[in-house]
Amino acid sequence: MPDFQIFIQSLSVSSMWAILKKLKNAFSFVTVQRFFVLQLETIQEAGPKIPITVLRYDIVQKCPRETLRKIKGETKDWVRRWLRGDICYVACADKEPVAHVWICHGEWRLKDKDEGRPLPQRCAFLYDARTREQWRGNRVYQTLISRSASDLLTRGYESLYLLVSDLDFAAQHAPEKIGFQRTEHCIVFYRFLKLFKFRSDRVTLLAGLASSE
């Protein structure tokens, strides 16, 4: 019993809060992935705190595997993405890759192996945005999205969509700064223990997010 009291006294407020959250999530958990949409004509330019160069890669000019590894680590999805025609934009600082975003068109999917859902014509979907930890806080992420969106506009696209967790306030703030608008369309995940998992897609992109399922 004394050992248990010593353990409780040694816990900080933050660590106790983390334990309570884990206990709560073990029994029931609901997460929401919210769609944000940007009309590309309304794009607001963003500037980084450090000089960066943005490079564009596609199925013709594939991004070197070593570059992607530095940003995200090993993954087996890259070949599948290139074959689908997805585009990768990479931000470099001092010739060092520091962030990337992926853009797909025609179909969107939550995970690479998911069945694709149709996108409206002249619309694109942004996914798998990643910034290396040591480069965060320099507005690299929003600058990369801003320049990617500007490039899509010159290529005839009209809208750009992305999904953001309702719990990730920082990830919501950056897109809003360059013109993205929050929508009521979302994907809801329910979980209870390890016995029950359910996903509800409350969205259709067939009519440009004009109606929900």
CATH of the domain at 44: 3.40.630.30
Residue 19 lies in a domain: no
- Amino acid in the structure at residue 116: G
Residue 137 lies in a domain: yes
By DSSP bridging, strand 159-165 and strand 123-131 are: parallel
* Residue partners of 23: CB distance under 8 A and separation at least 6: none
Residue 184 lies in a domain: yes
Q: Identify the H or E element spanning 206.
A: none
Q: Higher-confidence residue: 1 or 148?
A: 148
pLDDT of residue 150: 95
Nearest Cα to Cα of residue 122 among 102, 150, 152: 152
Residue 8 lies in a domain: no
- Amino acid in the structure at residue 18: A
Residue 213 lies in a domain: no
Residue 203 has pLDDT above 60, yes or no: yes
Pinpoint the alpha helices (H) of the chain.
2-10, 13-27, 65-72, 78-84, 140-154, 169-177
Residue 173 has pLDDT above 90, yes or no: no
Residue 21 lies in a domain: no
* Domains identified in the chain, total number: 1
- Interval 96-113: pLDDT, tens: 999 999 999 999 998 888
The domain of 148 spans 28-202
